[in-house]
Amino acid sequence: MKKIIMISMALGLMSNQAQAESTDFEAGKALFQQNCFMCHNAELEPAQAPPMFVVQMKYKMATADKTEFVKKITSFATNPTVEKAILKEPVKVLGVMPNMGFEESDVRKIAAYIHDETFSPPCNHWKHAADRFKAEGKMKLYQKHQKKYDAMCSTSVDKPKVKHAGMRNTSITAEEGSLKAIMQQLGMDYAAVDEAILKEDLDAVAVAAHGIAFHDEPSLGTKMKLMGSLRSEMKGFKAKDEKVHHLALDIEKAAKANDMKTVIAKQSQMLSACMACHTSFRSRVISILH
């Protein structure tokens, strides 16, 4: 098979554009390794610069398309300033990136490569950072890095299992771990809260609300796909998920305090919060993922 591809490439059977794109990618990668990797190597301990997985994610979320992405990275790397920097924590810990006098034409190629590359999640980097912040007693930063590690690096066996009120497996028709399956579980947990309210069973309310607040995360591949398409709107998508998370926590707390009035008020706000995300994102996300 490999031979056939090699032969077809030699015969010029690959389209000119595909050929140009793969050459640009390889050139950008080589330039990246020569100029940037000495600091942006996620395996270095202590870290000398933020991992490219993180840089790519933050810049994709701050730009609408590849052209803007390349422009923004190039502007920063050829003349780094605090004002341009969007990674606030690395700037605080390491100081702003030094001006290395890079050629703009080189950085443009590197930036295009950074946009298209699939970087692995920097698991060792997050683990080291979590351990270090814990030892230093900086618990907020510790939790932030540990959460990322748990979400993207630990195997599902290590993950705490969320207790759900809705029956698992019976009505979930979507592929396990998909966003759709997570949503089907949310639908069941939401219905379970309603039913428990009507039965005035506040313990059951607390369990179902907990299941909503700590719903499973979609796979890394799904997240990257969403991020790659939603780009700067990913922040809004995440904010809508956070809103539901906080309302579910409020419901759990009120249920544990036997405060039915608050439970009912928050449950109705939560339905609005679920629907707000569906109105803005559902059909688009379906077209991205299906």
Please report, as ranges, the residues that interact with ligand HEC according to CB under 6 A. 35-36, 38-40, 48-50, 55, 73, 76-77, 80, 85-87, 90-91, 94, 96-98, 100, 102, 107, 110, 179-180, 183-184, 186-187, 190, 212, 237, 240-241, 244, 270, 274, 277-278, 281-282, 285-286, 289
Rounded CA separation 290/288 (Å): 6
CB of 98 to ligand HEC, least distance (A): 5
Q: How far is the CB of 187 from ligand HEC (least distance, A)?
A: 3
Residue 36 vs 254, nearer CB to ligand HEC: 36
Query: Considering the complex, what minimum distance in angstroms separates the CB of residue 52 from ligand HEC?
Result: 8
- State the nearest-atom distance from the C-beta of 144 to ligand HEC, in Å: 17
Q: How far is the CB of 196 from ligand HEC (least distance, A)?
A: 14
The token duo for 51 is: 């991992």
- 94 or 249: CB nearest ligand HEC: 94
Residue 191, token pair as written in the block: 């219905």
- How far apart CA 179 and CA 185 sit, in angstroms, is 10
CB of 11 to ligand HEC, least distance (A): 36
Length of the chain: 290
Between CA 96 and CA 160 the distance in angstroms is 38
d(CA 269, CA 267): 5
Q: 215 near 185, Cβ under 8 Å?
A: yes
The smaller minimum CB distance to ligand HEC, of residues 11 and 198, is found at 198
Both tokens assigned to 252: 């759990």
Residue number, 27 or 94, with CB nearest to ligand HEC: 94
Q: How far apart are CA 91 and CA 73, in angstroms?
A: 16
* 14 vs 102, beta carbon nearer ligand HEC: 102
Largest CA distance in the chain: 75
Question: Is the CB of 14 or the CB of 224 nearer to ligand HEC?
Answer: 224
- Integer Cα distance of 7 and 237 in angstroms: 46
Give, rounded to a whole angstrom, the gap between the first and last alpha carbons of the chain. Answer: 30
Q: How far apart are CA 77 and CA 84, in angstroms?
A: 10
**Which of residues 91 and 204 has its CB atom nearest to ligand HEC in the complex?**
91
Q: C-beta of 5: minimal distance to ligand HEC in Å?
A: 31
